[in-house]
């Protein structure tokens, strides 16, 4: 099996190669886009079902990761719409079955920083959130984002500007709340 890099190629990659090389990226992207932890596995597999159906349409001159992120965005949006109408009864006993391991100060700080980012991301509308995640967290260019999401380039810039402002405001508000101010 050959490795699927994120660089453009002249041939279409095989589904198994795309899955093996990019499942982690899809998983983290979905989490950043607000998919609930309990649904991540199912939604990630749904992304790859879409990839399977659309692999013949993939333009090999484009970034595989950007293309996958665009698909993940659309699947996450569908999942959020479906989740509004879903009624679930969660486990009555939320206690863990075993004691969690004690974290070092660095691990605890990293966990707190990740939680802060995820909470601040929740303050963003999904269409702003995906542009912010793709650009500022994943490092995609504005043109790659426009291509992956099938939106105009100026829309990418507009959404990114709005997302950055909302994200910064959300972080500021969350920090004030944490500090008790």
Q: What is the CATH number of domain 1-92?
A: 1.10.1740.10
Phi, psi of 101 (to 5 degrees): -70, 145
SS3 state at 118: helix
**pLDDT tier, 101 (very low <50, low <70, confident <90, very high otherwise):** low
The CATH number corresponding to 107-181 among 1.10.10.10, 1.10.3720.10, 2.60.40.1170, 2.60.260.20 equals: 1.10.10.10
Parts of the chain belonging to CATH 1.10.1740.10: 1-92
Whether pLDDT at 4 is above 50:
no
Q: Is residue 82 within 8 Å of 35, Cβ to Cβ? A: no
Q: Where are the alpha helices (H) located in 56-152, listed in sequence order?
A: 64-84, 105-122, 126-132, 142-149
Domain with CATH 1.10.10.10 in the chain: 107-181
**How far apart, in whole angstroms, are the C-alpha atoms of residue 118 and residue 2?**
34
Question: Taking 90 as the threshold, does the pLDDT of residue 151 lie above it?
Answer: yes
- pLDDT for the residue 141: 96
| Cβ-proximal residues to 130 (8 Å cutoff; 6+ apart), any chain | 33, 69, 73, 76, 149
Please check the confidence at residue 70 and state whether its pLDDT lies above 90: yes
The CA distances from residue 79 to 85, 102, 128, in Å, are: 10, 34, 17
pLDDT for the residue 23: 95
């Amino acid at each position: 099996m050959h490795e699927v890099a994120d660089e453009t190629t002249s041939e279409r990659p095989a589904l198994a190669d795309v899955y093996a090389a990019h499942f982690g990226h899809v998983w983290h992207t979905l989490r950043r886009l607000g998919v609930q932890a309990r649904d991540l596995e199912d939604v990630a597999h749904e992304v790859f079902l879409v990839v399977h159906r659309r692999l013949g349409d993939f333009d090999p001159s484009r970034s595989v990761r950007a293309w996958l992120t665009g698909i993940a965005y659309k699947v996450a949006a569908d999942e959020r719409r479906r989740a509004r109408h879903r009624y679930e009864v969660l486990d009555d006993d939320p206690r863990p079955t075993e004691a969690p391991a004690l974290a070092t100060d660095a691990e605890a700080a990293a966990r707190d920083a990740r939680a802060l980012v995820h909470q601040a991301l929740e303050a963003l509308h999904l269409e702003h959130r995906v542009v912010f995640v793709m650009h500022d967290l994943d490092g995609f260019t504005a043109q790659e984002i426009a291509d992956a999401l099938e939106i105009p380039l100026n829309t990418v810039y507009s959404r990114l500007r709005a997302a950055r402002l909302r994200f910064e405001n959300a972080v500021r508000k969350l920090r004030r709340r944490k500090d008790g101010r």
